[in-house]
Amino acid sequence: MVVEEGYDGVRLGDEMTQEFIDDMTERFKNGKLIAKKYVYQILIAVKKIVYEEPTMVEVDVPEGVELTVCGDTHGQYFDLMELFRRNGSPSDKHWYLFNGDFVDRGSWSTEIALLLYAYKWLRPKGFFLNRGNHETDDMNKVYGFEGECKAKYNERIFRLFSESFSALPLATLIGSKYLVLHGGLFSDDKVTLDDIRKLNRHAQRQPGQAGLMMEMLWTDPQDEPGRGPSKRGVGMQFGPDVTKRFCENNGLEAVIRSHEVRMDGYEVQHDGKCITVFSAPRYCDSTENRGAYINIGPDYKLRFEQFDAVPHPNIRPMT
């Protein structure tokens, strides 16, 4: 493939560079795209990296490093820029974990996905991505990402994104203390971290209507004990007793999940054992919520940070 004549951005060789990321970040802010050749390079490189990661990535936070856990970003590129401005860009000393739902709804989903993927390629051991329920074909068809991909690039690039999404890990275990996954817990109390480790996500690809993958991507907490039907029509809801048993059985301090808007950007439920973090402030330009992220250092204490939406070009969600 050749780069289009007249392309005025930084060139990409065989390896991702910070220079390319900085240039791409500015291009996206100014409403420009990157060359299709580079999109293919990023997708192919990152698919290979994430495919080879375990279904549950296990991470310790070394001395001198801070790990930031972010929730849904949903194509709100300018709010992601604000998050990086306030909290610092990914670096050797500042790791990031994005807990799914990078795409759909917001109108800059390809920009967010490509930027996160570029950082994953540059820093495979210090930048982590969990799959969300919107990194799936069904959702992308309905909530905008497929259409956006075809409008900005082409159908084949959407298909490659789809392949890369199905290769993403489903959970990250931080310091053996916090299980981070997009949706939530399970319909069966017997499920353990080992079951997640053994889950062959490559055989399944799409989450379907039942099973561990679907529950990890779709379930939500409730305040009442026990389990209840989901307001979403897929998955279910789990109470504080379910969370307590899961944490006790698996030696965890808490489960960190995303998947639902929270007015303060985050919420601590279930006696501190179930934490929701959501990083798309003023969600869909219609909900007056703040965004949040969680900083975790080598002491494994959770530090919650909130931020507000910033102005963006006058392009409505799902345009």
Q: Name the catalytic one among 94, 134, 270, 312.
A: 134
Are 220 and 259 within 8 A, CB to CB? yes
Are 181 and 170 within 8 A, CB to CB? yes
Report the pLDDT averaged over residues 224-243.
Answer: 96
Residue 79 within any structural domain of the chain: yes
pLDDT higher than 90, residue 143 = yes
Residue 301 within any structural domain of the chain: yes
Least reliable range by pLDDT among 26-30, 40-44, 50-54, 314-318? 314-318
Q: What is the CATH number of the domain that holds 250?
A: 3.60.21.10
Residue 12 within any structural domain of the chain: no
Are 216 and 170 within 8 A, CB to CB? yes
Residue labelled with tokens 């209507």? 209
Number of domains in the chain: 1
pLDDT the model gives residue 189: 98
Report the pLDDT averaged over residues 84-103.
Answer: 98
Confidence band of 319 (pLDDT split at 50, 70, 90) = confident
Is 134 a residue of the active site?
yes
Residue 66 within any structural domain of the chain: no
For residue 196, what are the domain limits? 34-57+73-305
Residue 7 within any structural domain of the chain: no
Residue 27 within any structural domain of the chain: no
pLDDT higher than 90, residue 126 = yes
Residue 295 within any structural domain of the chain: yes
How far apart, in Å, are the Cα atoms of 123 and each of 16, 60, 119, 128, 227? Answer: 9, 16, 6, 9, 39
Task: Specify the pTM.
Answer: 0.98
Residue 25 within any structural domain of the chain: no
Report the pLDDT averaged over residues 185-204.
Answer: 97
